[in-house]
Amino acid sequence: DTEVTQTPKHLVMGMTNKKSLKCEQHMGHRAMYWYKQKAKKPPELMFVYSYEKLSINESVPSRFSPECPNSSLLNLHLHALQPEDSALYLCASSLWTGGNQPQHFGDGTRLSIL
Amino acid sequence: AQSVSQHNHHVILSEAASLELGCNYSYGGTVNLFWYVQYPGQHLQLLLKYFSGDPLVKGIKGFEAEFIKSKFSFNLRKPSVQWSDTAEYFCAVTLKNTGFQKLVFGTGTRLLVSP
């Protein structure tokens, strides 16, 4: 079992809906990440939080809004998504953002936009 | 731009066969190197990592990888695969000493091991 917990596991939403993805870790990690993974493709970085502050936004559309309420939680708020946003959304964490820190991944939320 | 190439997109092996998956990266500086595995329906898991020192790195489940700096390669090997090794394997790279070090994944190799 992974030490990074993501909920929900599956989410189907319409283009006008507002929903949130949640991620939680209790390993004391201070870096948390959101990735998007399309079918048969590698994960692509979306956002990085370091010590609860957004440090990297990889030019992600504003319909995706991340939030880090505390060092253990990471949310991704979704609004007015497009069908092409259907994908597996992965959360990861690491001790800090140093490149030699392995990232621990959650199981992901499989998102389908109708 | 930094990139990671995995030459084999699909590999099919019989149990007990030897495995070698290729990984090359394009960056002239110092890198950290990782292999991750994604079993069907499961999360990405770290197999092994290389930061410095002995270029032959041993990981979990009998996997090893060798860093060859002159070839910009970090190939993954296993002497004898098992049916349970069926999974997708991703090579990944971060750069050292460049501020935030983004983890860049290769395109992945799907391994199918037939019993």
The average confidence (pLDDT) of chain B is: 92
Q: Which of residues 4-23 of B touch A (CB under 8 A)?
A: none
Q: What gap in Å lies between CA A38 and CA B107, rounded to an integer?
A: 11
Record the tokens describing residue A15, joined without a space: 């283009």
Do B30 and B96 contact (CB within 8 A), yes or no?
yes
Tell me which of A96 and B64 has the higher pLDDT: B64
Record the tokens describing residue A43, joined without a space: 């994960």
Helices (H), chain A: none
Q: Do B49 and A40 touch (CB under 8 A)?
A: no
> Over 70: is that where the pLDDT of B98 sits?
no
Q: Do A90 and B44 touch (CB under 8 A)?
A: yes
> Over 70: is that where the pLDDT of B97 sits?
no
At A64 the three-state DSSP class reads strand
Averaged over A37-58, what is the pLDDT?
A: 92
Q: What gap in Å lies between CA A13 and CA A112, rounded to an integer?
A: 6
For the ranges A28-42, A91-105, B33-47, B64-78, the lowest mean pLDDT is seen at A91-105
The shortest CB-CB distance from A42 to any of B46, B95, B105 is to B105
> Over 90: is that where the pLDDT of B1 sits?
no
Q: What gap in Å lies between CA B80 and CA B70, rounded to an integer?
A: 27
The average confidence (pLDDT) of chain A is: 93
> Over 90: is that where the pLDDT of A99 sits?
no
Q: Which residues of A touch B103 (CB under 8 A)?
A: 45, 99, 103
Give Cα B102 to chain centroid, integer Å.
17
Q: Which residues of A touch B44 (CB under 8 A)?
A: 43, 90, 92, 105
pLDDT at B95: 77
Averaged over B79-101, what is the pLDDT?
A: 87
pLDDT at A98: 76
Q: Do B108 and A40 touch (CB under 8 A)?
A: yes
pLDDT at B99: 62
> Over 90: is that where the pLDDT of B46 sits?
yes
At B53 the three-state DSSP class reads coil
The shortest CB-CB distance from A42 to any of B51, B90, B96 is to B90
Q: pLDDT-derived band of residue B109, with 50, 70 and 90 as boundaries?
A: very high
Tell me which of B28 and B8 has the higher pLDDT: B8
pLDDT at A56: 87
Q: pLDDT-derived band of residue B80, with 50, 70 and 90 as boundaries?
A: very high
Q: Does A43 touch chain B (CB under 8 A)?
A: yes
For residue range A1-29, list pLDDT tens digits in order.
679 999 999 999 999 899 999 999 999 99
pLDDT at B27: 82
> Over 80: is that where the pLDDT of B89 sits?
yes
